[in-house]
Amino acid sequence: MLLNLRDKIRKNKILSSPMNTVIILDSVDSTNSYAKSLDNPSHLTVIVANNQTKGRGRDGREWKSFGEKNISLSLILDYPLDGDHLGLLSILTANAVVETIESLNLKAEVKWPNDILVKSKKISGILSEAVFKNNKSKYLIVGVGINVNSTSQDFDTENFKYRLEPTSVKSETGGSCSREDLILVFLVSFFGWIQKFKHKKYKEILDFWLKRYPDFGRTVSVLKNGEQIDGKIVNLSLNGELLLDVGGKIEIVNSGEIFA
């Protein structure tokens, strides 16, 4: 259970004021789905599930949460006025997860567009969704899953096929970790990155991410809308898009799957 989480957030000098709406659920299908059901939620509403039963990833994939072992949360954000940099919200969220993982003396890496890895194994994923009403943007939901206390035995159950081999904090450190403490570290880091976004420090957000991106400068294959694109990764745009050098021409990839 996450019995003390709300109190820890309330007592934290950085979080107590901006994150004044904290919803802690014993069990829910998906924190993102729950966030969508709310009417007029406030900016920086935090939704945390003790147990998430039907977590979702990109492209309709399932995200395994394994009962009360891992972190499942969503944050609701006001839709930014500057939509040109919307994609950076997933990037800065990844930065916050990286800082959380690195606080445990683990080396974290990122994989475009929304994965966080340790030793090339997936330890966390992010799912960002926009909510619209009457064809107008209403707010954004950023969902975060972090594998904390799950074990290799958990990952091997149910014959589930993972796109990337999974790992967890416990698998990498050999010991259990407090979910409440890790959530607090993540939220403090996330708020710091949101402040940088608010003050348009876009390059700082990108630079941090790129330093943890081992595919930078590599030639890769990207599957975009069923079409394979081969090119060298030369940068990310200020909207978090992948910039590929394809035969001397820059190709902008805003969604897709790197498979080589």
pLDDT tens-digit map of 26-69:
999 999 999 999 988 999 999 999 999 988 877 667 788 888 99
Question: Based on the domain organization, do 124 and 243 belong to the same domain?
Answer: no
Q: How confident is the model at residue 256 (pLDDT cuts 50, 70, 90)?
A: confident
pLDDT exceeds cutoff 70 at 16: yes
pLDDT of residue 260: 63
Question: Based on the domain organization, do 66 and 161 belong to the same domain?
Answer: yes
The CATH number for 27's domain is: 3.30.930.10
Question: Based on the domain organization, do 137 and 163 belong to the same domain?
Answer: yes
Mean pLDDT, residues 92-99 taken together: 98
pLDDT of residue 227: 84
Query: Using one digit for the tens of pLDDT, what is the confidence trace for 108-152?
Result: 999 998 999 999 999 999 999 988 877 777 899 999 999 999 998
Tokens at 104, concatenated = 């445990």
> How many structural domains are present in the chain?
2
pLDDT exceeds cutoff 90 at 237: yes
Question: Based on the domain organization, do 176 and 224 belong to the same domain?
Answer: no
Question: Based on the domain organization, do 171 and 225 belong to the same domain?
Answer: no
Distance of alpha carbon 36 from alpha carbon 72, whole angstroms:
15
Question: Based on the domain organization, do 185 and 236 belong to the same domain?
Answer: no
Count of other CB atoms within 10 angstroms of residue 113: 22
pLDDT of residue 1: 78
Determine the structural domain holding residue 69 and report its residue range: 5-211
Question: Based on the domain organization, do 247 and 188 belong to the same domain?
Answer: no
Question: Based on the domain organization, do 28 and 73 belong to the same domain?
Answer: yes
Question: Based on the domain organization, do 135 and 225 belong to the same domain?
Answer: no
